[in-house]
């Protein structure tokens, strides 16, 4: 009986070890899955897909990417449906979205990001250098009384509509903010420059628009609507405990104009899918990201 008892105990121990091992494997497998959401802005598209390729190829993670408007992106992270939001402009541009819930500040990935209204260089040379110049009746008429916007829910759009237009009296000049999308705004800007037509749009750095077109950010010669922001990766509550290595990786990331600029140009000019173009650039530029990957 003693032998039988010992045998049963051995089998019980083995069964318990297997069960624990299976649970541990399930947890490990679960923690190897990462969900990242981003907005369809050129810089965010570029670094989100790039970082996804590093996580997949170099660190063994299964990454799911979800594009969303900025408001839903914040709410999906606050609600735990996504692990990370990849482009939070703070403390100014996106401040209002922080009211949607609790977020974990995972990392700063770009410093001193600039936003503002942009015009073609020829307009600045003709005297349109400040935001207040848009209210001049002759300028407003040439603009067809419109500011060409981007996504309706973007922080720039909200500040422009709620603060800039009334703050500079542009509503009294009959100027309206017309939503579109970043690609549509840039296409309109490029067309207007080609035809020497007046246009005012929205610009921010980092972005390849300043390398591809002669643009000027209008001076805030009245109320200060925008201050420089830093760009952060935000996470859902508990993400640093659930995904510590990924969070450490993101904490090591820092982009500059000299690194993100070439990546954006490569993605824009490539015939590959965005993810494959990002993977190609990763393989060609290991010096950019090697030090970001945590030691095993």
pLDDT in tens, 72-124: 999 999 999 999 999 999 998 899 999 989 999 999 999 999 899 999 999 99
| Co-location of 109 and 41 in the same domain | yes
Domain-ending residue, one of 193, 217, 241: 217
Sign of CA dihedral 113, 52, 152, 137: positive
| Co-location of 142 and 120 in the same domain | yes
Contact 47, 260 (CB under 8 A): yes
The whole-model pTM stands at: 0.75
Distance, CA of 152 to CA of 172 (rounded, Å): 22
- Find the CATH number of the domain harbouring 138: 3.40.190.100
Q: For residue 56, is it within any domain?
A: yes
- Find the CATH number of the domain harbouring 82: 3.40.190.10
| Co-location of 233 and 265 in the same domain | yes
Q: For residue 11, is it within any domain?
A: no
| Co-location of 277 and 145 in the same domain | no
What range defines the domain where residue 44 resides?
Answer: 30-113+229-292
So what's the pLDDT on residue 27? 40
Summarize the confidence of residues 235-252 as an average pLDDT.
97
Lowest mean pLDDT segment, chosen from 88-92, 210-214, 221-225: 210-214
| Co-location of 51 and 105 in the same domain | yes
Q: State how many domains the chain has.
A: 2
| Co-location of 137 and 103 in the same domain | no
Q: For residue 123, is it within any domain?
A: yes
| pLDDT band (50, 70, 90) for residue 31 | low
| Co-location of 244 and 191 in the same domain | no
For residue 23, pLDDT over 50 is answered with no
Summarize the confidence of residues 158-185 as an average pLDDT.
96
Contact 155, 97 (CB under 8 A): yes
For residue 4, pLDDT over 50 is answered with no
For residue 12, pLDDT over 80 is answered with no
| Co-location of 72 and 131 in the same domain | no
| Co-location of 46 and 130 in the same domain | no
Distance, CA of 136 to CA of 74 (rounded, Å): 38
Strands (E), 206-265: 215-217, 229-235
| Co-location of 239 and 279 in the same domain | yes
Domain-ending residue, one of 157, 192, 217: 217
| Co-location of 157 and 197 in the same domain | yes
């Amino acid at each position: 009986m003693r032998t039988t008892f010992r045998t049963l105990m051995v089998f019980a121990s083995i069964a318990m070890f297997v069960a624990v091992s299976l649970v541990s494997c399930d947890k490990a497998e679960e923690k190897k899955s990462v969900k990242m959401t981003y907005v369809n802005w050129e810089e965010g598209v570029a670094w989100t897909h790039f970082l996804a390729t590093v996580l997949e190829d170099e660190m063994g993670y299964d990454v799911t990417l979800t594009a969303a408007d900025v408001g839903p992106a914040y709410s999906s992270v606050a609600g735990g449906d996504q692990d990370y939001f990849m482009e939070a402009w703070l403390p100014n541009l996106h401040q209002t979205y922080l009211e949607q819930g609790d977020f974990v500040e995972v990392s700063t990935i770009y410093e001193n990001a600039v936003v503002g209204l942009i015009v073609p260089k020829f307009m600045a040379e003709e005297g349109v250098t400040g935001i207040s110049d848009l209210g001049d009746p002759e300028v407003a008429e040439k603009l067809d009384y419109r500011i060409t916007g981007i996504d309706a829910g973007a922080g720039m759009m909200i500040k422009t509509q709620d603060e800039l237009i009334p703050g500079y009296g542009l509503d009294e000049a009959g100027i309206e903010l017309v939503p579109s999308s970043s690609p549509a705004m840039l296409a309109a800007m490029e067309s207007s420059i080609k035809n020497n037509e007046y246009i005012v749009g929205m610009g921010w750095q980092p972005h390849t628009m300043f390398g591809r077109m002669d643009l000027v950010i209008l001076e805030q010669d009245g109320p200060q609507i925008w201050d420089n922001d830093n760009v952060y990766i935000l996470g859902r509550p508990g993400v640093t405990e659930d995904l510590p290595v990924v969070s450490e990786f993101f904490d090591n990331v820092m982009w500059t104009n000299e690194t993100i600029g070439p990546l954006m140009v490569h993605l824009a000019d490539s015939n590959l899918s965005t993810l494959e173009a990002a993977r190609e650039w990763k393989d060609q530029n290991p010096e950019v990201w090697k030090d970001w990957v945590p030691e095993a």
